[in-house]
Amino acid sequence: MAAVPQFNLAPDLPVSRLCLGTMTFGQQNTLSQSFRLLDYAFHAGINFFDSAEMYPVPQSAQTQGRSEEYLGSWIKDRNIPRDRVVVATKVSGPSGQMHWIRGGPTSLDDSNITHAIDDSLLRLQTDYIDLYQIHWPDRYVPMFGETEYDPTRQFDSVGIEEQLDSLGRAVDAGKIRYVGLSNETPYGLMKFLHVAKRTCEFPRIVTVQNSYNLLCRNFESGLAECCHHERISFLAYSPLAMGILSGKYLSPDKGPTNARLNLFKGRYSEGESRYNLSKTIIKEATKAYVAIAEKYDINPVSLAIAFVLKHPLVASTIFGATKLKQLQEVIKAVDVELSPEIISDIDNVHSKFTNPCP
């Protein structure tokens, strides 16, 4: 097994091009199962691990924070030198649904960001976080399957200046090293960059983490240009579209009962709104991509992962795994080369079924 290659997010921040997401840890995966996945990933060359204060998902008051706790416990239990791993986590944006996280959370003001960082540090059992990300914006933004901007839905939000000021003080205090965004728009990314450039005391955004896969290529339409010209590293999450691109949901029985979209049916609104398997276009597009994999004798998982990694602006792709076999399949994908013929076939399907999972 070849080692997973790396990419430099910053001169002193090399990360593996595969990043193990931890949002199943503490819900679908027990502590021992999580340790097994982390062990295998680390020994395969993966040094990049992504979490969030709200994880695991689906979110609940009973499990909130376990994913960070499991990751921190693994680093401590295995006595891994802190500089051998890159730890990324996120602060939750405004939400009226998670009352157990600072009452909502209500906003991304200084108090919320500061408390979120300190709590994550405790759960992770570490002195610093390598990459700290805003999970979603403190303003109305169409997300998770929404495609049209509705100006009437805007709400009073915390200014970007206050958000960056709070993050900057955390950087100065040594609590975080670098700052990133997630589920962000071209407008939002450029606004953060503009404010940081105008006020030199504020940290500069170095990454943006958004969904990118064969069923969702919106990144290519506007955000890619921003990342290219502003030298922002793109972190692609959901490369398998919550497992849909593996083809497992195409079987007559609609996939294993313990597969995420079956196990949590009706409980995971963010995922189900984007990856709605009742939509014919999603099924037809998935069938077409699986057919391409079969045509070229490639595992559908390898096809999906290799497609994401092929994009020149993708620094690393963040994937989840609940079983060792799934993890192994993803790791194998780093050795897969997609020929011009395969890319042509992919683009033909994309032109027919354009971004069914925005």
Active-site hit among 55, 178, 249, 289: 55
8 A C-beta contact, residue 81 and residue 47: no
Could you count the other beta carbons within 10 Å of the beta carbon of residue 170?
23
- Active-site residue 212, yes or no? no
Amino acid at residue number 317: T
Quick one: tokens of 125? 């059992």
Question: Catalytic residues, which ones?
Answer: 55
